[in-house]
Amino acid sequence: MYHTPVLLKDCIEALKIKPDGIYVDATFGGGGHSAEILKKIADGKLIGFDQDEDAETNKLSDERFILVKANFRNMTSELQKIGVTQIDGLLADLGVSSHQFDTADRGFSTRFDSLLDMRMNKNENLTAAKVLNSYSENDLRKIFREYGEVENASRLAKTILSARKEKPIETISELKNAIVNCVKRGKENQYYAKVFQALRIEVNDELNALKDLLKQATEMLNKEGRIAVISYHSLEDRLVKNFFRHGKFEGEVEKDFYWNRIVPLREITHKPIFPSEKEIENNSRARSAKFRIAEKI
C-alpha cells in the first residue's frame, strides 16, 4: 500500500456494505480503501479501477477482488466485459495519489525537477509539456482560469507564449523560471499549485471523466445503492454536489407533471464531511478533502 487512505472509517460506513454485494473502488491506487471494503464482503465482489500501471503492485490477492486497468470513465463497458451489470455501491477518492506526487519523474509535484509529464495513464499521448508548448494563448488562458482559478491567467498565458518562442518548456524548473514574474512574492507555492492543478486536469481530462463516472455509476446502482466521493478542490466538489443534489451538472432540475423533482439520487450529506484535525495531522493529503454521499432512489 503506497498511501494512507483518507477518511477510511467514513468511507466504509457510507457504503453500507452488504456481505453479498458488488462494489466498485473507482480509484484503487494504493489499495487501502479496497482492503477495508473486502473485510465487510463475504461472497460478494469488489472491482477496483486504476489506469496507472503502478497500481498493479498493490493488487489484492483475493478471489473476491478484480483489478481493472482502465480509466473509471469507461466503467460500464469494462464491468460488462466481466459480466457485471448492476452494483451496490461505488467509492471514488479523486485526485493524485501520494505515490504519484512522490514519484519525481511523473511530473506532478513542484518539489522535484523532472519532465513536465502529469499523465495518470502513461500510455496516453498528451503531457503537460505538450500543453504548454502547443496550445494557443486563448486555450492556455482558459485552462489556467477555469481549471486553476489563476487570477492573472491572461498574463500567465502571454508569458508562456513568449518563453516558448525562445525555447520549448520541457521541465518543472524551466516552467517555474519562465513564469517567475507572474508570481506574487511569498505566494509561490500556492501559485504553482494552481498552475499545476490546471495542467493536470487538462492532461487527464479529469472533470469530464468525473462526469462520465457519476452518470454511469448512477445508472448501474441498485436501489438504495450508495455513491461516495472524496474530492480535493472546488471544481470537483461542485460537480459532485450538483449531481447528487440535482441529477445534473448545470441548469434547472427537471420536474414531472406534478412539479415533483425528477432526480435519481437522494443526497445523504447536505454538507460535505471533512477529516478530523487528528487525521490531517497524521496524513497531510487529507487536508483539503471533502466527502459526499448519495443513495439511489
Report whether pLDDT(1) > 60.
no
| Nearest residue to 205 via CA among 71, 28, 101 | 71
What kind of fold does domain 105-204 have according to CATH?
DNA polymerase; domain 1 (1.10.150)
Is the distance from CB of 192 to CB of 176 less than 8 angstroms?
Answer: yes
**Domain-wise residue ranges, the chain:** 8-98+206-296, 105-204
Write out pLDDT tens, residues 142-183.
999 999 999 999 999 999 999 999 999 999 999 999 999 999
What pLDDT does residue 261 have? 77
CA distance 154 to 1: 41
Q: Rounded mean pLDDT of the chain? A: 93
- 2 or 152: which carries more pLDDT confidence? 152
Q: Give the alpha-carbon dihedral of 66, 70, 71, 74, to 10 degrees.
A: -80
Q: Which residues contact 18 (CB under 8 A, 6 or more apart)?
A: 44, 88
- pLDDT confidence bin for 56, thresholds 50/70/90: confident
Mean pLDDT of 287-293: 96
pLDDT in tens, 240-257: 999 999 999 987 777 777
| Chain segment 76-114, per-residue pLDDT in tens | 999 999 999 999 999 999 977 665 656 666 766 777 789
Supply the pLDDT for residue 41: 97
- Please state the rounded mean pLDDT for residues 23-32: 95
**Separation of CA 50 from chain center:** 11
Q: Is the pLDDT of residue 51 over 90?
A: yes
pLDDT at 65 (0 to 100):
98
Give the confidence band of 285 by pLDDT, cuts at 50, 70, 90: confident
Query: What pLDDT, on a 0 to 100 scale, did the predictor assign at position 55?
Result: 80
- Identify the pLDDT of residue 112: 77
Instruction: pLDDT band for 2, please (50, 70, 90 cuts).
Output: low
Q: At 128, is the pLDDT very low, low, confident or very high (cuts 50, 70, 90)?
A: very high
* pLDDT class of 75 with cuts at 50, 70, 90: very high
Cell of 243: 449531481
The residue among 203, 202, 206, 196 whose CA lies nearest residue 71 is 206
Q: For position 256, what pLDDT does the model report? A: 75
Does residue 53 surpass a pLDDT of 70?
yes
Q: What is the band of 139 on the pLDDT scale with cuts at 50, 70, 90?
A: very high
- CATH code of 8-98+206-296, in short, is 3.40.50.150
